[in-house]
Amino acid sequence: SNLRSRGASLCDMCILVVDVMHGLEPQTVESLRLLRARRCPFIVALNKIDRLYGWKPQQDVGVETSLACQESHTMHELERRWKQIQLQI
């Protein structure tokens, strides 16, 4: 808590990393509260998307190419989970 508070007070911008499989966890909610209180802009980065059911790993390609290679059911699951995270935020 103290470490997150100090970090939030020092940053000009934050990257908030969220596990796509678990959504917002208590420490993420605490970080959001601190960032909002300090009016610090933030970007949400989804982590562990390769753990989605049916994910096909792609070697040495960019994110857009990797996403384009996924099956539609995997992409729907990613979109569903992203929307849930957006609602939690």
What would the pLDDT profile of 10-25 be if each residue is shown by its tens digit?
778 899 999 999 999 9
Express the helix, strand and coil content of the chain in percent, nearest 5 each: 55, 15, 35
Asked whether the predicted pLDDT for residue 26 surpasses 80, the reply is yes
pTM value is: 0.83
Structure tokens at 87: 């609602």
Residue 43 reports pLDDT greater than 90: yes
pLDDT in tens, 73-84: 999 999 999 999
Q: What integer pLDDT is reported at residue 11 of this predicted model? A: 77
pLDDT band at 8 (very low <50, low <70, confident <90, very high): low
Of 7, 85, 73, residue with least CA distance to 46: 85
